[in-house]
Amino acid sequence: MAKIQATRGTKDILPSELKYWQFVHNKIYKILQCANYQEIRTPIFENSNLYDRGIGADTDIVNKEMYRFRDRSNRDITLRPEGTAGVVRAFIENRMDSHDKLQRLWYNGAMFRYERPQSGRQRQFHQLGIELIGSADARADSEVIHLAMTIFNDLNLKNLQLNINSIGKIEDRNIYQAKLSDYLERYYDDLDRDSQNRLSSNPIRILDSKNIHTQQILDGAPIISDCLSIESQQHFDNVCNYLAILAIPYTINKKLVRGLDYYNDTAFEIKTLNSLGQDTVCGGGRYDSLIEQMGGPKTPAVGCAIGLERLLTLAKDTVNLPDEPVNFYIATQGSAANKTGMTIMKFLHQQSCTVELDLNSKTFSKQIKQANKKKAIACIIIGEQEIQQGNVIIKWMLKQEQENIPITQFKERISYLKKKLLFMQSFQIIK
């Protein structure tokens, strides 16, 4: 019988790797907590029209990549391909603006896109999203970018480049798209197939083409900054000024657009210069019309998303995980000792100690070797002789010291044991 394997484009996150995920998550949580951002959790699947209306019917995500299906009630359902649309739906449905006009939100979860699996991108992947809803101020754009850069800096990631651009408002883009279409029509036969299809439906998306020959054609194309309104240009200038105040270096990339139709004005990406493959680790921008477009009140917003798989790939080279030794390893032999060991294990758990109970019932020498392998600070030894004497042996592993503690006094001596545990732990770190 053929063995069952994980579906192509999905990947197990094993305990040894999950330690990095948890380390990075804790770093992110502290940074966003300091900025007073609140976590929000939205469903993994939504009605498909949320993404049709929110992301845009002409985008690759909707046309090619969504996991879309009919459920048992014949409803059109999609596994979420990105997080912003779901956050917007939750904002509108729960009338979150009635509590506070300004919402600072973040999320972390699995997303799904039917793409060709490659390094740093699976069909099930994970994103951290940061959303600042309720402000049209250029400081909001800069704050979101600052938080993303702070996360990367706190993980000691180097060789990153922030690319920013302004794609203007809808009126600016309509003027620009007309100019861009006129220019590209002359090169229609030389464009790649996807760009030919986009020329009539959404020509600005051609700027995001990965085709080298198409990019060469675009070198002579009109640029969107020439079509910006005074308001959009002023907003972009303010964003750049605030980034300078925050000492965040940036590069203006006049071809930069995002793959989602809801963006306006500020668009940005953070790329790693170390990668030969998927080099974008963060992307975002302003989406002032999306909430109104989805049926909510007119509400400006800005946000970004960080691909956690790509972030973890980079962070593994810079993160030194702290040692997490077991506080107490319990070695027992004999039925009565096993029962006492279980009672002590429960008590130590209640005292927030990390404990591992040996279940192999091997010789004490082998169990103590296992305690060493687990880097246990202390090994609690309970055998038939200890039961008869009413004691347990505490063996402090690093100094190879041991002491007897009466079983009846074990709970009373926990304060002493915890103090010695801390002392031995600091001694272990020095060593």
Residues annotated within the binding site for L-histidine are: 82-84, 113, 127, 131, 258, 262-263
- Does residue 395 contact residue 405 with C-beta atoms inside 8 Å? no
Q: Rounded distance, CA 382 to CA 239, Å?
A: 66
Neighbours of 256 (CB within 10 A): 20
Q: For the residues of 161-212, what is the DSSP string, one character each?
A: EEEEEE---HHHHHHHHHHHHHHHHTTGGGS-HHHHHHHHH-GGGGGG---H
What length is written for the chain?
Answer: 431
As a whole number of angstroms, the distance between CA 222 and CA 385 comes to 88
Helix axes 15-34, 308-315, angle to 10 degrees: 100
11: Cα separation from own chain's centroid = 16
Helices and strands (H and E) in the chain: how many: 15, 16
Do the Cβ atoms of 404 and 391 come closer than 8 Å? yes
Give 242's contacts (C-beta < 8 A, 6+ positions apart): 138, 139, 141, 142
Phi, psi angles (nearest 5°) of residue 307: -75, 115
Distance CA 225, CA 252 (A): 11
Q: Report the alpha-carbon distance of residue 153 to residue 150 in Å, rounded.
A: 5
Which one, of 74, 71, 89, 87, lies nearest residue 130 by Cα?
Answer: 87
Binding-site residue ranges: 82-84, 113, 127, 131, 258, 262-263
192 φ, ψ (degrees, to nearest 5): -70, 165
- Cα dihedral 82, 37, 17, 318 sign: positive
